[in-house]
Amino acid sequence: MKLTKQIASIFLVVVLFGLFNLSMYQLMTRRLFNNFSSATQAQMIDVENFIPHNSNSDLAEVATTFSLTDNLPVLDGAAALVPVYASVIHNVYPEGSVTFVGGQFSKDNYYGENFASDSAMQYKNTVRGYKAIVDGDTDVFFCSAPSSEQQQYADECGVELVCVPIGLEAFVFLVNKNNPVDSLTMEQIRKIYSCQYTNWKEVGGPNRLINPLTRLEGSGSQTTFEAIMGDYEIGTKSPFAITGASIGFSFRYYLDGIVGNDMVKMLAINGVYPSKENVQNRTYPIVIQFYAIYRADNANPNVPLLIDWLLSNEGQTLIEQSGYVRIN
Amino acid sequence: MKNRTFYIVLFSIIGLCFVATLAHFIYAVYAYHHCSIIYFIGQELWK
């Protein structure tokens, strides 16, 4: 009898720990496996799909007479804009301008690519990319506006960055597709992220905690989000918020076109859905510009030619065919 | 099983379970700060 009780006690301990870990797995861990890297979302884009001059790539093609053959500006950009600048290379640069360490593409890299140092295409994403453009490693960088820290780094290095707006995009908020909330106002979003609203029922949803998610400091979406918050400070959420229903943010085409996750949905803001049409006619409240950025002292004569082409009808058509909204 | 033996076995198992749970927790916290928020939201539990 005593032995039975002892074995039952041990069994109970194991079961209790097992149940706790199973709950933690269901609530949390199983949601963290996707494309794990040490930089949030760094590998959410599959660069292999956007390699120029490759028949398997998903890149825009436009009829153009503009082409570059030498002094090729090195292009880099944010994850969301890889389809744009890869398409530029695909349409304007000669074959062989994109090169790889070891001679061929490989994903066995921190960021999921292995561009050689002499390649005209690079992929450093926003945080590393801003440093590279200031340091002179990149000629043209495709991204949203710099954060105050990124601008400060340029100032400290005595580098003037020229930011030329080349396209429009919607900044979107997203929730799980089963969340019954379809629309929020700007005011509600600011109050959610400043933790004045902590339960979805306060904004017309279910009685469930709100888990407001932010991104890596210095990333394009985080910088845009901080600008949107205006005078509201980002609040400190309860540790229990993680058990609730989350809200996050991203860019429209990155979410809808590149990642294409059908388990989440974009929210309408002030009743306006972030469709391409509503970005074009500017009825969606959070339309941002994205830029081709270069150093003012860049001596490569092809940089201004490339910028002019991006603003031409051909360049704008390429931006549109890459999934974004033309600015001209 | 003698009481002494039982407690040695019991606390050893509790210790092992605790270490495993702690490792799981540390991994979850680290991964939470570096995961894709889109996938994280997409995998949310809803009845």
- pLDDT tens string A51-89: 999 988 989 999 999 999 999 999 999 988 999 999 999
> Looking at the complex, does the CB of residue A313 fall below 8 Å from at least one CB of chain B?
no
- Using 50, 70 and 90 to split pLDDT, how confident is the model at B21? very high
- Chain B interface test: which of A1, A3, A12, A17 (most B C-beta within 10 Å): A17
Q: Is the pLDDT assigned to residue A93 strictly greater than 50?
A: yes
Taking an 8 Å cut-off on Cβ atoms, the answer to whether B32 and A28 are in contact is yes
Taking an 8 Å cut-off on Cβ atoms, the answer to whether A36 and B46 are in contact is no
Residue A48 structure tokens: 């292999």
Q: Is the pLDDT assigned to residue A206 strictly greater than 80?
A: yes
- pLDDT tens string A164-178: 999 999 999 999 999
Q: What is the pLDDT of residue A37?
A: 44
Does the CA dihedral A218-A219-A220-A225 come out positive or negative?
negative
Q: Which residues contact A233 (CB under 8 A, 6 or more apart)?
A: A194
Integer-rounded Cα radius of gyration of chain B: 18
> Looking at the complex, does the CB of residue B8 fall below 8 Å from at least one CB of chain A?
no
- pLDDT tens string A177-205: 999 999 999 999 999 999 999 999 999 99
> Tokens 């360049």 appear where?
A315
Q: Is the pLDDT assigned to residue A308 strictly greater than 80?
A: yes
Closest Cα of chain A to B42: distance in Å? 5
- Using 50, 70 and 90 to split pLDDT, how confident is the model at A20? very high
The mean-pLDDT minimum among A40-44, A76-80, A137-141, A217-221 falls in A40-44
Residue of B nearest to A177 (CA): B42
Q: What is the pLDDT of residue A39?
A: 42
Q: Which among A14, A29, A247 has the least Cβ separation from residue B13? A: A14
> Rounded to two decimals, what is the model's pTM?
0.82
Taking an 8 Å cut-off on Cβ atoms, the answer to whether A246 and B28 are in contact is no
Q: What is the pLDDT of residue A2?
A: 83
Closest Cα of chain B to A264: distance in Å? 5
Instruction: Write down the mean pLDDT value for chain A.
Output: 91
